[in-house]
Amino acid sequence: MFKPQDGIGEHGEAVPGPPWILGHRGAPRETPENTLVALRRAIELGCDGFEYDLHACASGEAVLIHDATLERTTDHEGPVASLTLPELAGVDAGGWFHKRFAGEPLPLLAEALELDGPRAGERPMHMIEAKDPAVVRAVARRRVELGRDLSVRLASFDRGACLEARDLGLPAMLLAVEASEDGRRFVRDERLAAYGVGPGGWRTPAGRAEWGCEVWGWSVDDPEDLLEACRRPFFGLNTNEPLRALATRALVHLAPEDEGRYPVQAPELEVEPDPVSGGAHGAWSGRWSPVAGVRNPFSFDVEVAVAPLVRGGAFEVEGLPVALRLAPGEAADLPFRIAGGSWSPGDDPRLIARFAWKRGPGRPAGHLVLDAPLARIRGVNLGREAIRLPMLREHPGEREASVTVRRRGAELLCRVEDPGGLDDARALVRLGRHTRRGGRGVRIRLPEDFDRRVEGVPFSCGFDAWPREGGARVRRVRRWAGGIPGGIANGAPGRLFPAAGA
């Protein structure tokens, strides 16, 4: 049992679950996703385990990879299912991320299941997403071979795969973008072990009901989402921000009576990019004079040091860092100035706040570091007329390109207007928690209450293509804002607002 007097660890990792915290695809901000080095790094950071994805290759073995094809995360191309294990032996799954990971192989399921846990004699927790139902039997067989004390959950959006996993003795987790009453009935009636929902997907009537099973979150990264998930608490979650998640879990243990918002409030930075000329730092840039906020959630005095941290792009900051002392419940506004940016939407700057306290009754001296992103966003109002959205120029020589968006009843239609010289461009759109990909055009359903959402809906659009360059197919993406393509390090989505009187 955790006792505050024992200390919380460097990043809060000594505070146990629930929720149990798993690295999403390992530690994908630092290492190439779904590789052994990524899974090991998640454990080094203090996670209780990791989540990873499985596909079956042509000879039947289960390999760790998210996509059904090899192009995005390896130096090969084509469907994973079309190649045998010997043919996959030479695939480089690390060089795409950074040259220091060149030669990192595609791992086998057996290799992942044999990894050590965070402490001597402990095994890590495994959340295994079956991208291909054919891998379910392989997971069940390997679990029996390695011992039933191995903590494994077989997760899938495919209900048939979940039922097969259950029948084979595996704890099965049904995945969903958001909690639904239909999903709750299915999990209850079929006696599944767990239900997992996407970021914020529990904020539905069904999500607030009693489930009678483990409730998990996947890809939970946002500070407010993490705080809510830890307060519920969820049984477990996976995240691309393991240090933030571990610190938030520790925060909830150290300040159990606090019901306020996340203690570090980082303002959004609205971007008005010039898609034609860009700027000194690139098209995804600007100058802002925002006001951040910090508050003391603890029942004792703290000293707080707040500073910016840049993960991508070039920025100049005035007014930070700053140090202050806060009494229990006290808050402070922090005005500052920030200028700069990048050509492409990517990792946004962060505010880092180090809360430090002196020894007191039942607690040693300690500290906790919390952070929040300074997300760069842009917005657009959706009326009844078509809107032409210019795509960002993501390097100086890139041609102009555009997408049109139009409302048609309860749907949003996006169409590639000018592909900027790319052949076979395929439209991409993100709206809320959903992403769609089509041909020249794509449609996606608007939320039922869209016209009442004065705060807007997360939105982005663009297109991609796979031209051949130097004999290899290379993915090229053009976009209006962050949030696409899926995955991390692609920036925050913009906002789609209902136009007045629409």
- Catalytic: which of 11, 24, 55, 126? 24
| Residue 261 token pair | 């918002």
Q: Active-site residue 395, yes or no?
A: no
Q: Is-contact 136 113, C-beta < 8 A?
A: no
304 beta partners: 324, 355
Side-chain-facing half-sphere of 346: CA atoms under 13 Å: 15
Written as one letter, the residue type at 161 is: A
| Residue 480 token pair | 């209006």
- Euclidean distance between CA atoms 365 and 337, whole angstroms: 33
| Residue 71 token pair | 């192009």
Phi, psi of 387 (to 5 degrees): -120, 135
- H or E, element range at 393: none
Written as one letter, the residue type at 195 is: Y
Q: Active-site residue 24, yes or no?
A: yes
- Euclidean distance between CA atoms 226 and 241, whole angstroms: 10
- H or E, element range at 231: helix 223-231
**Residues 252, 258, 262, 265, CA torsion sign:** negative
SS3 call for 260: coil
Sheet architecture: strand order including 322-326: 322-326, 302-309, 350-357, 366-373
- Catalytic: which of 11, 55, 66, 126? 66
Active centre residues (catalytic): 24, 66
